[in-house]
Amino acid sequence: MALSSKTVLPNSPKDNNPKDRQTPTKPSAQSQASIAWQQFKRRKSAVAGGVVLILMYVMAGFAGFLAPYGINEYTRRLPVTQFHPPTRVHWINPETGLPGRPFVYATDAERDPVTRQRVYVEDTSERFPIKFFVRRPDEPYRLFGIWEQDMRLFGVDEPARIFLWGTNNLGKDVFSRVLYGGQVSLTIGILAVWVSLFLGLTFGGIAGFYGGWVDELIMRFIEVLDAIPGLYLLIVLSTLLRDPRNPLARTFGLEMTSAQTFMMIVFVLGFIGWGGLARTIRSILLSVREFDYAQAAKALGASNQRIIAKHLLPATASFVIVSLTLAIPGFILAETGLSFIGLGPSEVDTASWGLLLRDATSRGITIQFVPWLLIPGIPIFLAVLCWNLVGDGLRDAFDPRKRK
């Protein structure tokens, strides 16, 4: 693995021996990364997972543009929109009976005389065509948190509204909120994995390299962390750290804004997840440390830092990449679960997918009347599935025994 960067180029100045010139100029050695990439490309499910993931991340990035409504936009005016079922998009023009420009009808809320449930009835007197690239100056958004924009991909004129996936108990558009929610749920996993990586590499590296009582201490601490059930630790930490009176918050003068809650969740998730990574890095280092090239570097007088950074860590790289990729779906599940029980980022200006799914369980709701509130579960499922596919593909791609 560590040999990849040391291939000798055929036309380097030293070998001007005519015999060597006749060897083919095409480089015969391939780097580890390019072999892995070639192998990865041959696994269809992994590539498909990767493509879907890229799509999801792009959609979350452009959520403001793709979503017809703002994250917390709802109307207090009539017509009410609470628990509005997904708006029907009509493709057939009723006058001509032919497919035409898609349009929607405005809806009125009525009570079902038997079940007393609120039902929405289409008012077919006026058609509202779906418009593209609509400007909505009253509801601007910031693209990537920087550029203020008011252009939306699509929308309809009031009083009609377009709720592709229905609305929740406050009449907020589920489709828009799922797009915004991706910004939280898709990034938290990736950020938490970096925290985990940092802790795992640092402590796993120290334990594996120095051994002795340092090793013993670190491994004991990981055992202690593992001994407490993760969910309970997650619940307790994220509740207590959120409290503005806790000593950490008071020392640093923090008052948890939603961005800080977000970062707090990232650190808590990363803190709970680093143990396994550290343990495996340590065991790899313990075996690699005895390999000839590490011993040779030591004999040549290389410093400890140099041996760790240049010889030992690269040996763990492929393993680390794979286990990080496979850790991300776990973090996504943990974050959505935490949000689902109401301990994730707050509702004020974020919308994690778990938080959206929580709407389906609030008091007095019978799911069979509002099944569309379960839609936010689908992107969680998709994201986790695709990260798993990509991770499995990477693992096989790095594994020489599974080359195709």
Partner 1 sequence: MLTYIIRRLLNLIPTFLGATLLAFIISQLVPGDFLNTMRLSPDVRPETIERLERQYGLDQPWFVQYGRWMGSLARGDLGLSFDSNQPVVNLVRRPVQNSMILVVLSIVLLWVVAIPLGVYAATRQYSLGDQVVGVVSYFGLAIPNFFFALLIILMLFNLRGFTREVFGYNELLLPVAKMTSNEFADLSPIGKALDILRHALIPAFVTATAGMAGFTRVLRAQMIEFLSSDFIRTARAKGLGERSVTYKHALRPALIPFIAGIGGLLPALIGGAGLVEIVMAWPGITPILLASISRQDIYVVLGFLVISTLLLMIGNLVSDLLLAAADPRIRYS
Name the site residues for partner 1 (rule: CB under 8 A): 220-221, 223-233, 235-237, 239-241, 243, 245-248, 329, 333, 336-337, 340-341, 354, 357, 360-361, 366-368, 371, 374, 377, 380-382, 384-385, 388-389
Comparing CB distances to partner 1, the nearer of 81 and 336 is 336
Distance of CA 62 to the CA centre of its chain: 15
Collect all residues with Cβ–Cβ distance below 8 Å to 128 and sequence separation of at least 6: 103, 104, 105, 106, 156, 157, 160
Comparing CB distances to partner 1, the nearer of 1 and 367 is 367
Q: Phi and psi dihedrals of 342, rounded to 5? A: 85, 20
Comparing CB distances to partner 1, the nearer of 27 and 342 is 342
In whole angstroms, how close is the CB of 172 to partner 1 at the nearest point?
19
Comparing CB distances to partner 1, the nearer of 49 and 64 is 49
DSSP alpha helices (H): ranges in 302-376?
304-306, 313-340, 353-358
Whole-number Å distance between alpha carbons of 83 and 269: 33
Task: Report in angstroms the alpha-carbon separations of 282 from 207, 211, 221, 321.
Answer: 6, 9, 14, 16
* Helices and strands (DSSP H and E) totals, the chain: 14, 7
Comparing CB distances to partner 1, the nearer of 308 and 389 is 389
Comparing CB distances to partner 1, the nearer of 3 and 224 is 224
Which amino acid, one-letter code, is at 68? P
Q: Is 149 left (phi over 0), alpha (psi -120 to 50) or beta?
A: beta
Tokens found for residue 403: 């080359």
Whole-number Å distance between alpha carbons of 384 and 378: 10
Within 10 angstroms of residue 292's Cβ, the number of other Cβ atoms is: 7
Whole-number Å distance between alpha carbons of 163 and 171: 10
In whole angstroms, how close is the CB of 384 to partner 1 at the nearest point?
4
Comparing CB distances to partner 1, the nearer of 1 and 51 is 51
Comparing CB distances to partner 1, the nearer of 194 and 381 is 381
141-143 and 147-149 as β-strands: parallel, antiparallel, unpaired?
A: antiparallel
In whole angstroms, how close is the CB of 330 to partner 1 at the nearest point?
9
Comparing CB distances to partner 1, the nearer of 30 and 246 is 246
In whole angstroms, how close is the CB of 346 to partner 1 at the nearest point?
15
Residues 195-198: contacts with CB under 8 Å, at least 24 apart:
195/266, 195/267, 195/269, 195/270, 195/271, 195/274, 196/269, 196/270, 196/273, 196/274, 196/277, 196/324, 196/327, 196/331, 197/274, 197/277, 197/320, 197/324, 198/270
Collect all residues with Cβ–Cβ distance below 8 Å to 289 and sequence separation of at least 6: 208, 209, 312
In whole angstroms, how close is the CB of 75 to partner 1 at the nearest point?
27
Is the peptide bond between 13 and the residue preceding it cis, with omega within 30 degrees of 0? Answer: no
In whole angstroms, how close is the CB of 205 to partner 1 at the nearest point?
22
Comparing CB distances to partner 1, the nearer of 34 and 239 is 239
In whole angstroms, how close is the CB of 187 to partner 1 at the nearest point?
18
Kindly compute the dihedral angle of the four CA atoms of residues 151, 152, 154, 160, in this order, to the nearest 10 degrees.
Answer: -100
Comparing CB distances to partner 1, the nearer of 214 and 224 is 224
Distance of CA 72 to the CA centre of its chain: 22
Whole-number Å distance between alpha carbons of 165 and 175: 5
